[in-house]
Structure 1
Amino acid sequence: MSTVQIKTGKGYFITGSIFEAKDNHTVLVISSATGVKQSYYRKFSEFIANNGITVMTFDYSGIGNSLNGPIKRNDVNASDWGATDLEAVMRYAKEHYPGATINLLGHSIGGQLIGLSKSAAEARKIILMAAQTGYWRFWTGFRKYRMWTNWNIGFPMLLYIFGYLPSKKITGMENLPKNVARQWCKWCLDPDYLFGDIPEQDLYFKNISAQLTSFSIADDPFAPVKNVDWITAKYSAARVKRLHLTPADFGMDQIGHFGIFQEKSRANIWELLLKEIER
């Protein structure tokens, strides 16, 4: 693995990692979930690279190794993570691996942000893993009102007190810059999610005509099937394949929102993902 500093279109740098395969005919760019450092995908990336596909991971601005200075001073928003950060990584991959096929894998919000990167339209294959709308009314029962409380009361209060979202204290995930958390809250209160906030000319979902495989997971409380179907449908020009994973089908007790990229899934699920990336 090698580490690279990638300059974005807005002039700031983000940190990426490259897992080099023996040949570079295909490059897979992984766009992370919210508040998840790129190191979380390291074992999976090594597995993919050992099977002949170069992998690039990166930390969004304000996260992990791309946190430059105090987080309170980081002014990027959630849409910057796709339109600026992912876009910069896609451009880096095209420049440094000319002639290679570029594929994309977006986990959770990473799958949403793909549609904000102009260069994503040049990807040959896209994998959406538990990518979803976060609009609070898509949930049911107690969880629906818990979501409403988070977006309307909990997150705004924490942002006012700390000047950023102290996720490490709450969930163990990485802290979020203030404007990322504020924009995320705004999306999750809008039935059109990010489409109600971002101008049409800055949305590239309809430009993407690649083969796209969208996964949902039966025991994933953060990405119910309805939510996954909603965001998948926004890639209206893509050639879509929908797969739904159930733990019992893989001899597992649970998978959840984050289990796919954990070591426990190596023997059961990573081969399936590899085949979809190669397909």
Structure 2
Amino acid sequence: MSSKKTNNNYKPQPIVLTALDGFLLSGTLFVPPGQIVTSKPTVAAPSNENSDLSGGATRKSQIDPLTKVAIISSATATTQDFYYKFALYLSQELGMIVVTYDNRGVGRSMPNSEELLFLKAASEKASPRDSSTPPPLPPKPYSMPSGRDQDSVKSKKKAKNPLIGFEATIVDWALKDLPGVFNFVLAHFPHNPTLYVGHSVGGHLLPAIDAYYTRNLERVLFISVTSAYWRTMNSPLFVYWFFYIASPIVNSRYGYYPGKTLWGSMEDLPKGCLETWAHWGSFPNYMLGGNPEWKPNFDLFKVPVYSLYFTDDDYSTISAPHIMDFIPNTLRKCVGVNPLEDLNMKKVGHMGFFFNSCKEKLWKTAVRAWLMEGRALDRETIKEEAILSSSYARL
């Protein structure tokens, strides 16, 4: 499929996703321009007696025309909005349907969210509404009062922070939230090939879920999927202090982890999610050390995975290949990219792949080749493609 010109006026659609336990998640649906093909492929009969196709098989040539659906799964303490430009590229230029979402307790996926309850009620329309019954009212927009009322508003906001007392862990993200996202895709696009982009913990979680949910999954792209085992981190003593000394004190003091207040670069987290993160970080095998019961599903995972990590990663620069060893029975390729030497970029790090600055040298080369054509570029090819993309940009 050829690249399309981005529609600057395009606005994606907010959606509500339902986790397996009924918890409501905030999501966004990006729809590509032009025709979207979702119809069920016709069943192809074997072409001859020697064919390896059964009577109910579907030929690859019949699946290829279907519009691809991409799920983007976020890093820890990162909202779906961070991936907006990348999702826009996949949908508007590569012609994919794209779904982003916030895990429970992050971004707009807060417990008892009035906005999500309203959106869900508006979208379901389970039964025809009586004309005499008014439609549900949307939640009132919040406006900051002026003067002396501001102090009382701040105190109420602190007292009613939705994460205080909210029980959630990263295991809930894996076994409840992510299957709910796949359920949405399977319900609305049951025949379409699905792609998955996992950033950091978004990659850790995928092999843990049952293959029932990933039955349409065609290919997986891991970005900066490294381990947070404290000894392999770039600053192990700081990470040990953060996980096992400072964070328990902060969690106990606030009742949640106020990442936005303390660091600015990360979102607030339910205290249980920070505790899961620290627990995994105490094991050399990271998530499989913390949740060894996941190993059978990791062993059964068979979807091809292409993993990109960057040698200037702020957290860990050596653990990405080790993570790939946790899924031993699938086709997999792990490539480390040096931003300065390979891309002529000062920095990419753990988060920078999703900045617009990587569009020409990584999105239009490695991402497009893998997600659209199934070609996993090696480091030398990425370097060559980056040089070519820079040359084209100057023409």
TM range (shorter): over 0.9
**Superposed counterparts of 1:13-52, under 5 Å:** 13-21=24-32, 22=34, 23-24=36-37, 25-50=67-92, 51-52=94-95
Conservation of the 8 A alpha-carbon contact between 1:64 and 1:174: yes
| Structure 1 consecutive aligned stretches of length 4 or more whose deviation exceeds 3 Å | none
Q: Do residues 237 (structure 1) and 326 (structure 2) align? A: no
Return the letter of the residue paired with 1:104. Y
Question: Secondary structure of the residue that 1:72 maps to in structure 2?
Answer: coil
Residue number in structure 1 paired with 2:130: none
Deviations 1:179-199 (A, max 9, x none): 111111111112232212325
Q: Do residues 63 (structure 1) and 106 (structure 2) align? A: yes
Question: Secondary structure of the residue that 1:267 maps to in structure 2?
Answer: helix
Name the CA distance, whole Å, in 1 between partners of 2:306 and 2:25.
28
Matched residues, number = 276
Q: Do residues 181 (structure 1) and 274 (structure 2) align? A: yes
Question: Secondary structure of the residue that 1:111 maps to in structure 2?
Answer: helix
**Superposed counterparts of 1:105-120, under 5 Å:** 105-118=197-210, 119-120=213-214
**Superposed counterparts of 1:5-20, under 5 Å:** 5-20=16-31
Residue number in structure 2 paired with 1:218: 311
Question: Secondary structure of the residue that 1:242 maps to in structure 2?
Answer: strand
**Superposed counterparts of 1:33-182, under 5 Å:** 33-50=75-92, 51-69=94-112, 70-118=162-210, 119-120=213-214, 122-139=216-233, 143-172=235-264, 173-182=266-275
Return the letter of the residue paired with 1:186. H
Deviations 1:204-263 (A, max 9, x none): 222221111011101112131x31111111111110112222213222111111111011
Conservation of the 8 A alpha-carbon contact between 2:258 and 2:268: yes
Q: Do residues 207 (structure 1) and 300 (structure 2) align? A: yes
RMSD: 1.6
Return the letter of the residue paired with 2:247. F
Name the CA distance, whole Å, in 1 between partners of 2:15 and 2:190.
17
Residue number in structure 1 paired with 2:371: 277
Conservation of the 8 A alpha-carbon contact between 1:151 and 1:189: no
Name the CA distance, whole Å, in 1 between partners of 2:316 and 2:223.
10
Higher Cα Rg, which structure: 2
Name the CA distance, whole Å, in 2 between partners of 1:215 and 1:205.
19
Conservation of the 8 A alpha-carbon contact between 1:121 and 1:209: no
Deviations 1:22-80 (A, max 9, x none): 42521110110011110110111011102111111000000111013511132110111
- Of residues 51-60 and 204-213 in structure 1, the stretch that sits farther from structure 2 once superposed is 204-213
Deviations 1:70-105 (A, max 9, x none): 111321101111111111101111111121001111
Return the letter of the residue paired with 1:80. D
Residue number in structure 1 paired with 2:151: none
Unaligned segments of structure 1, at least 5 residues: none
Name the CA distance, whole Å, in 1 between partners of 2:334 and 2:344.
21
Conservation of the 8 A alpha-carbon contact between 2:233 and 2:315: no
Name the CA distance, whole Å, in 1 between partners of 2:330 and 2:343.
28
Greater RCO between the two (CA within 8 Å, min separation 6)?
A: 1
% same residue = 25
In terms of fraction of residues, the more strand-rich structure is 1
TM-score by length of 2: 0.67
Deviation of 1:203 after TM superposition, in Å, equals 5.5
Conservation of the 8 A alpha-carbon contact between 2:208 and 2:294: no
Question: Secondary structure of the residue that 2:197 maps to in structure 1?
Answer: strand
Q: In structure 2, do the counterparts of structure 1 residues 109 and 275 end up closer, same or farther at CA, with 3 Å as the change threshold?
A: same
- Of residues 94-103 and 17-26 in structure 1, the stretch that sits farther from structure 2 once superposed is 17-26
Deviation of 1:122 after TM superposition, in Å, equals 4.4
Name the CA distance, whole Å, in 2 between partners of 1:133 and 1:242.
14
